[in-house]
Amino acid sequence: MSLGLKRIHHVELVVGNAKQAAFFYRNAFGFDQIAYRGPETGTPDRVSYVLRQNDIWMILTTPLRHDDPLNIWLTLHGDGVRDIAFEVEDTAGIYASSTAAGAKGYHEPRAWGDDLGTVQTASIRTYGEVLHTFIQRDGYRGFLPGFEIREIKGRGAGLQCIDHIVGNVSDQQMDRWVKWYDDTLGLGKFVSYDDHDICTDYTALRSTVVASDDRVIKFPINEPADGLKKSQIQEYIDANLTPGVQHMALSSDDILESIATLRANGVEFLAVPAGYYDTVWDRVGEVREDRERIKDLGILVDHDDKGYLLQLFTRPLQDRPTLFIEIIQRRGSDSFGKGNFKALFVTIEQEQGLRGNL
């Protein structure tokens, strides 16, 4: 049972140039800029921009001083996810219970605020150098203390909420982290895929999904598996130097319109392998959406016993082959596109080959 986790409050990315990254996410992915924190607002050493699209909240943070530890973080990992923050009922309680169960604390509970109210926060470490921050809002009327409203509209793409966030860990470490999430945060095992489910002739991985009881929070955890060539998970770890967040899946209520908008905005997606649509409809069956438009937009389709889903994956959002974004729409299905794994892997292997990392 998840221990008082309400939802994902926000995801914080550390980036080399937050001003430019905010422009990119506004104009490519349709986020609105909501708020800002930096030297002008009393934070002399870092700048942060808050972006929002419906119930998706992101912070983009850049260090300003050469001796800021975040510059070491950027040198090691490049742009990427540093913090997956949760809104919680009781910050002190969940910090105490999670650290007692084995989590390593990053900062202890503290209350801080401004004229809009007070929040209570604390943070723990998870895989790699990723953090989980707990935020008890207590009726706070803004985003978080220290941020000023700085609004700029983006080119909305109809993205609604975070469906799931995927972490990549080292070989033989997946089961450890699945147990860690159950023990420390009460996120139980939801579904697993082994290297027979997720493989091609050359590469493979294993994956287990942990989730809250209400499925609002879902975290697939991947590890590399033995294959003839290098797994995409190992390529990620080699580029990131540690385990970390591989991708965020953002939900849409109309993925055809979302993908059309994102493509028009310049977002680059992985290509669908040749012949994919020759067999997919026999496997998936009837869908509400127009099949020809699905094909024209290059969207993947899969199904389970509860329904079907549509999904598509961007290319990496930075020059290192690390963080990317998935766009997903669920039509009853609560799976993760198992039927598309092989097609996705074939495309990723092609990209790995071009990078010389296969």
pLDDT at 191: 82
- Are the beta carbons of 333 and 306 closer than 8 angstroms? yes
Q: What's the CA gap between 196 and 349, in Å, rounded?
A: 17
Token digits for 125?
A: 């470490």
Residues 120 and 23 in one domain: yes
Q: Which domain holds residue 261?
A: 159-355
Q: What's the CA gap between 259 and 18, in Å, rounded?
A: 25
Residue (of 215, 223, 224, 207) closest to 251 by Cα position: 215
Cα atoms in the 13 Å half-sphere on the side-chain side of 164 = 25
Residues 27 and 137 in one domain: yes
Residues 330 and 304 in one domain: yes
Residues 299 and 253 in one domain: yes
Please report where in the chains the tokens 């900062």 appear, as a residue.
Answer: 107
Three-class secondary structure of residue 72 per DSSP: helix
Total tally of structural domains belonging to the chain: 2
Three-class secondary structure of residue 178 per DSSP: helix
Strands (E), the chain: 5-14, 32-37, 46-53, 56-63, 80-88, 104-114, 117-125, 131-136, 148-152, 159-168, 188-193, 204-211, 218-225, 244-252, 300-304, 307-313, 324-331
Question: Which H or E run contains 29?
Answer: helix 18-29
Distances in whole angstroms, Cα of residue 305 to Cα of each of 7, 28, 284, 334:
27, 35, 11, 9
- Are the beta carbons of 98 and 70 closer than 8 angstroms? no
pLDDT at 340: 63
| Cβ partners under 8 Å of residue 44, min gap 6 | 64
CATH of residue 100's domain is 3.10.180.10
Residues 163 and 255 in one domain: yes
* Per-residue tens of pLDDT for the chain, all 358 residues: 456 899 999 999 999 999 999 999 999 999 999 999 999 999 999 999 999 999 999 999 999 999 999 999 999 999 999 999 999 999 999 999 999 999 999 999 999 999 999 999 999 999 999 999 999 999 999 999 999 999 999 989 999 999 999 999 999 999 999 999 999 999 999 887 665 455 555 557 788 999 999 999 999 999 988 765 677 888 899 999 999 999 999 999 999 999 999 999 999 999 888 788 988 898 899 999 999 999 999 999 998 889 999 999 999 999 999 999 999 999 999 887 666 666 665 665 666 666 676 5
Phi then psi dihedrals of residue 234, to 5 deg:
-70, -35
Residues 210 and 85 in one domain: no
Q: What's the CA gap between 300 and 310, in Å, rounded?
A: 6
Residues 180 and 142 in one domain: no
